Chains A and B, each alone.
Chain A
Amino acid sequence: MRSNALGWILLAPTLVILFFFGVLPFIYVVFVSFHSWNPFAANPEMVFNGADNFRRIVFDAEFLNSVGVTVMFVFFAVVSELIVGYLLAQAFMKDFPGKAIFRTIHTLPLIMAPIIVGSVWKLMTTPSIGIIPHYLDEWFGITMNIGTSATAAFTTIVIMDVWHWTPLVTLTLIAALVSLPPDPFEQAQIDGANKRQIFWHITLPMIAPAVVATVFIRLMDALRTVDEVWMLTGGGPGSATRFVGVHIFKEVFPKTNYGYGSTISVIVLYLTIVACWLLYVTMLAPRNTKKG
């Protein structure tokens, strides 16, 4: 081992940048969370109000509702992405004509900006101009209106998220599957294990780190999603798609409660970190340190 000084020199630029653009803004947000403040008013005045904002959160039905909606969204979206992503990754493990082309096509949604994804899905699903409600009505007689139906809006967002992010899941799972050693599978086949047994007892445990890593990054990004949802439904109808990120956005911009918005952000960030930390120490870190 060389001297640790070199290690610190190599880490220094990263730490400096993250300090100036991550830690300092965070300290500011924590400071504001103890105040009531509307920075967009003519006379923006920051009034210290102690822990009032934090007390308010506990009784804020809209916030609690947004947490519930977010948890439901993350659950449905991530589970669907894992299932669809795994099936596609398995399908990509075989050789077939045109595989490279199909794989490129499948990864295309990944390169689209969330704001554009939101716009396209809005164009496809808005009643009167959208193609999906039009043909649902013409072929099946189903009326779909994301502007008035909470179920339709929520389902559309889950489907949009699955469409946008499954490719990332597929790619990470392919990366995990190609690196698996063949011996355990051959052994299991010789022992007469069926497909389901092979999946549960061999494949799944071996790709578990990749699955957890995927859940980790999707969870983290889904919790702060705003662009797509804001563009598609604006959080509505009512509060059906008002995810935590959207709730904060609404508190800060239309309602201009910056102090309270900061408090919610601090709490949400704290909860996200705790959730991810638990996932990390229990599932990912042991494997990293074992190897290192």
Chain B
Amino acid sequence: MRKQSPIIGIIFWVIVSFLTLFPIYWLFVISVKPAVQLFSTPDVILSDPYWGNYAKVWGDRLLRSYMLNSVIISTGNAVLCTILGFFACYALSRFNMAGKESMFFWTITNRMAPPAVFLLPLFLLMTQVYAVGDWRLLDTRIGMILVYCTFNLPFAIWTLRPTVEGIPKELDEAAYVDGASPWKVITEVVFPLCRPGLAVTLILTWVFAWNEYLLAATLTNFNARTLTTGLSEYVTTTGTEWGIMATISVFTLIPALIVFGLVQKHIVAGLTFGAVKG
């Protein structure tokens, strides 16, 4: 490899980081400005921050309950999708089922649906067909966890498949010879070996569920409303409260940031999306 001065590299990365960070920094700047200052000349350097928006958002009990809903729904959905996705990938990689390649492709077609039109059938199905007796799905956390599977479960299957395929089948066979049950082989031999792929899948599905807006805005009302839909409540007929919107956005970013930071190391090792490595 050619040696070059580290200064150029550093300058390059500072520029890239500046371009990446600026919109996020700007979001923060907007969140610490009182409404009247938004329309004056934009200042790049932050002076005299105003924390009123933060006090207002944090003091809002409704928004706090939305945040709790977001945490429960995205975590529940990510865990469900990762586990079911893993099972599906195990089935696809270890068995010779008829039409499994078509089935693998079919799963992803669920992710391709244009959302605007599919909202209404989901709404109708969840209010009428899937409600049996007192039991209902609309505006419940369980309902949202299941609905998000439509786009996250295919994603999980597609990201995990190469990882599961990459575990040598001889390992399974050896465990079977030792008298292990299929359940033991799946959960205690193959599952732990797939850890990097599972971590990436868990995080990305979590982020997708955490960020989802359109479905949450339509299919929740109060009980299962999420933080991103809380945003739209500040776009009113009298104008948009940009400061509050920016503050809520900062609140949605923080948990995602923490979760993402925790698994940075594993991400590269497990990200393949359907492509066999090497």
Tell me, yes or no, whether B46 is within 8 Å of chain A by CB. no
Interface residues of A in 173-217 (CB under 8 A from B): 174-176, 178-181, 206, 209-210, 212-214, 216-217
* 1/0 contact string of B101-137 vs chain A (CB within 8 Å): 1010101111111111110111011000110000000
Complex: how many Å from CA A266 to CA B16?
40
Tell me, yes or no, whether A64 is within 8 Å of chain B by CB. no
> What are 14 inter-chain pairs, A to B, with CB distance below 8 A?
A2-B95, A8-B91, A11-B92, A14-B157, A25-B125, A28-B125, A32-B121, A91-B13, A120-B23, A120-B27, A129-B42, A226-B115, A253-B116, A258-B117
Distance of B232 from chain A, by nearest CB (Å): 8
* Chain A residues within an 8 Å CB radius of B107: 14, 18
- Which of A13, A116, A226 interacts with B252 by CB under 8 Å? A116
Name the CB-closest residue of A to B271.
A175
Name the CB-closest residue of B to A123.
B30
Distance of A286 from chain B, by nearest CB (Å): 10
Known contacts A7-B91, A213-B273, A291-B165; A115/B257 CB under 8 A: no
* Chain A residues within an 8 Å CB radius of B124: 28
Distance of B128 from chain A, by nearest CB (Å): 11
Tell me, yes or no, whether A261 is within 8 Å of chain B by CB. yes
Complex: how many Å from CA A269 to CA B109?
8
Tell me, yes or no, whether B277 is within 8 Å of chain A by CB. yes
Interface residues of B in 210-255 (CB under 8 A from A): 210-214, 228, 231-232, 242, 245-246, 249, 252-253
- Which of B97, B101, B118, B278 interacts with A179 by CB under 8 Å? B278
Distance of A213 from chain B, by nearest CB (Å): 4
* Chain A residues within an 8 Å CB radius of B214: 226-227
Contact B149 A21 (CB under 8 A): yes
Complex: how many Å from CA A181 to CA B277?
11
Complex: how many Å from CA A26 to CA B242?
37
Distance of B57 from chain A, by nearest CB (Å): 14
Contact B87 A100 (CB under 8 A): no
- Which of A21, A91, A163 interacts with B150 by CB under 8 Å? A21
Distance of B167 from chain A, by nearest CB (Å): 12
Contact B146 A17 (CB under 8 A): yes
Contact A134 B41 (CB under 8 A): yes
Distance of B71 from chain A, by nearest CB (Å): 15
* Chain B residues within an 8 Å CB radius of A13: 84, 87
Tell me, yes or no, whether B51 is within 8 Å of chain A by CB. no
* 1/0 contact string of A109-131 vs chain B (CB within 8 Å): 11111111101110110001111
Contact A29 B117 (CB under 8 A): yes
Contact B17 A102 (CB under 8 A): yes
Known contacts A8-B91, A22-B110; A277/B105 CB under 8 A: yes
Tell me, yes or no, whether A233 is within 8 Å of chain B by CB. no
Complex: how many Å from CA A261 to CA B117?
7
Known contacts A18-B153, A105-B21; A252/B95 CB under 8 A: no
Distance of B155 from chain A, by nearest CB (Å): 8
Tell me, yes or no, whether B88 is within 8 Å of chain A by CB. yes
Contact B116 A226 (CB under 8 A): yes
- Which of B17, B88, B260 interacts with A11 by CB under 8 Å? B88
Known contacts A11-B88, A216-B274; A103/B26 CB under 8 A: no
Tell me, yes or no, whether A232 is within 8 Å of chain B by CB. no
Distance of A79 from chain B, by nearest CB (Å): 18
- Which of B26, B42, B108, B211 interacts with A112 by CB under 8 Å? B211
* Chain A residues within an 8 Å CB radius of B26: 120, 123-124, 131
Distance of A94 from chain B, by nearest CB (Å): 7
Known contacts A1-B96, A29-B118, A171-B271; A130/B23 CB under 8 A: no
* Chain A residues within an 8 Å CB radius of B97: 4, 7-8, 11
Across chains A and B, which 7 residue pairs bring their CB atoms closest together, nearest first? Answer: A7-B95, A113-B211, A209-B275, A25-B121, A213-B275, A28-B121, A22-B110
Tell me, yes or no, whether A142 is within 8 Å of chain B by CB. no
Complex: how many Å from CA A180 to CA B277?
8
Contact B231 A115 (CB under 8 A): yes
